[in-house]
Structure 1
Amino acid sequence: MDFLTTVLLLLVGAGGGVALANALRTRAGVTDIRRDSVLLLERIEKVCKVVMAEGYFSEIYNYQDQKKILYLLNDPKKAMIIAKSKVLVGFDFAKVRFRLPESGEKKLIIESFPEPEVLSIDTDYKFYDIQAGYLNHFNSADYTKILDDAKQAMNERALQSDLPKIANNQIQYMMYQLASSMGWQLQLPEADQRRLDALKASAEEPAPAHKQLPGGS
């Protein structure tokens, strides 16, 4: 038996052994699952963002894509996604513009204050009723677009809710209290100052007296 024949017999024997092992493993119901992950840190940035309001939202998002086969027959695919999100709304203090008066008095003048913004959206997605067409199948790009659209819709819904108003009231009153505790005055832009004055007046209103019920002591 020459060398080449010996090598071929060894390869055939090894292949048969692997095939037999795979068959036995399949019959025994043993599954070999391997998961690998790679964490890449792109960059670290210094931020000065403050969360002032937190909201929880649920949304049902319907996705449908129509595709024509040979420009005649419709071949639709559709999916329903239920998204539950925790939305944090706050401010980026790097956008605040302020100055101190030249007189030297303890007064902080805010010339420009940023609008509240969505700082983060933590969303849990669940797919239901996924129906692919005969030739119009779902691919990774479709799922990415669905999740991006659902997240964008959640972002718009959060900005249309009461979260921005609550965040505005919170930050302005907090800044006022902090400045007052240090003996400083706070001056905001005109519209914000009116809102702050209304908040201060509401907070300083005495609680309504309880009326005594007839026959009480």
Structure 2
Amino acid sequence: MSLSVQKTTFFGIITEFRKWIMLILVALVLFFGYKYFSSKGDTLVVEYDTALIQEQIKNVGKLVVTEGHFAEVITYKDSKKYLGDFISFEKKAIVVINADVTVSFDLSKMKYDIDSINKVITVVEIPKEEIKIAPDFKYYNTESSTFNEFTGQDYNKINKIARANLSKKIQASTLKTNAKNRLLSELNSLFIVTKNLGWTLKYKDEIITSDKEVKQKFLD
């Protein structure tokens, strides 16, 4: 074989080798480029989903208030007796109480954890209901004497009796039930968002899988 033929063969091998090296380098660049951008895309999706979850919690995290009106009539009597039962001084009044009542859940106090890697949101604690009673007292047929006048202590007693009676009426009414239904509506909207995004909603250590379980687990 002549020298010129040997040189041609050698350079041909070198050229072919370079082509393979370039093909391998291009393949590696494409592979790692795909991995980089696909992983970056996954991260962006997780961040976007997490932002949506946090926005939903922010929307849910408001004051859920249910209002009601109650009335109460009290006949208040008190007497002071002297010389045994021989002398008695009585004071009395008819008291009409109209009260505006609110039952509320401040969901901004809801405690939760977000696991963005595993796509799990865990509600740790639901705030307790807050009952506020705003009574308006009107006194009728008030009678007293110099020896047994109305004092601040009497008004405090009337206030205490009225609030106790109103609390019983509130417990027997549908006001608290209506407030809890509104609470469940807000929590259910959170469940729907997490489900649509492919996330898991948990309450404490239990997974919520349906609307029915929202009611069962959150009100236990």
Bigger shift: residues 164-173 or 150-159: 150-159
Amino acid at match of 2:170: A
Q: What is the root-mean-square deviation of aligned Cα atoms in Å?
A: 3.4
Task: Name the counterpart of 1:13.
Answer: none
Return the match for 2:186 from 162, 167, 174.
174
- How far residue 88 of structure 1 moved from its aligned partner, in angstroms, is 0.8
- How far residue 110 of structure 1 moved from its aligned partner, in angstroms, is 1.9
The within-5 A match list for 1:154-173 is: 154-173=166-185
Matched, 1:108 2:128: no
Distance 1:52 1:185 in 2: 28
Matched, 1:91 2:90: no
- How far residue 102 of structure 1 moved from its aligned partner, in angstroms, is 7.3
- Please say if residues 169 and 199 of structure 1, whose CA atoms lie closer than 8 Å, have aligned partners that are also in contact: no
So what's the TM-score if we normalise by structure 2?
0.54
- How far residue 194 of structure 1 moved from its aligned partner, in angstroms, is 10
Task: Name the counterpart of 1:124.
Answer: 136
Matched, 1:82 2:65: no
- How far residue 142 of structure 1 moved from its aligned partner, in angstroms, is 1.9
Amino acid at match of 2:212: D
**1:135 alignment partner, SS class:** coil
The within-5 A match list for 1:12-161 is: 50-72=63-85, 73-93=87-107, 96-101=110-115, 103-105=117-119, 107-118=120-131, 120-133=132-145, 135-161=147-173
- Please say if residues 64 and 79 of structure 1, whose CA atoms lie closer than 8 Å, have aligned partners that are also in contact: yes
- Please say if residues 173 and 196 of structure 1, whose CA atoms lie closer than 8 Å, have aligned partners that are also in contact: no
Amino acid at match of 2:153: A
Q: Taking structure 1 as reference, are residues 96 and 198 closer, same or farther at Cα in structure 2, changes over 3 Å only? A: closer
Task: Name the counterpart of 1:197.
Answer: 212
**1:84 alignment partner, SS class:** strand
For structure 2, the residue ranges without an aligned partner over 5 or more in a row are 1-60, 216-220
Q: Taking structure 1 as reference, are residues 97 and 181 closer, same or farther at Cα in structure 2, changes over 3 Å only? A: closer
* 1:153-190 deviation per Cα after TM superposition (whole angstroms, max 9, x unaligned): 32443244222221112112212214534645543469
* 1:37-56 deviation per Cα after TM superposition (whole angstroms, max 9, x unaligned): xxxxxxxxxxx872431111
* 1:40-79 deviation per Cα after TM superposition (whole angstroms, max 9, x unaligned): xxxxxxxx87243111111112222232123323333221
- Kindly indicate which of the two structures has a greater share of residues assigned to helix: 2
Q: Taking structure 1 as reference, are residues 185 and 140 closer, same or farther at Cα in structure 2, changes over 3 Å only? A: same
- Please say if residues 72 and 97 of structure 2, whose CA atoms lie closer than 8 Å, have aligned partners that are also in contact: yes
Distance 1:157 1:180 in 2: 35
Q: Taking structure 1 as reference, are residues 63 and 87 closer, same or farther at Cα in structure 2, changes over 3 Å only? A: same
- Please say if residues 93 and 139 of structure 2, whose CA atoms lie closer than 8 Å, have aligned partners that are also in contact: yes
- Please say if residues 184 and 214 of structure 2, whose CA atoms lie closer than 8 Å, have aligned partners that are also in contact: no
Q: How many residues align?
A: 150
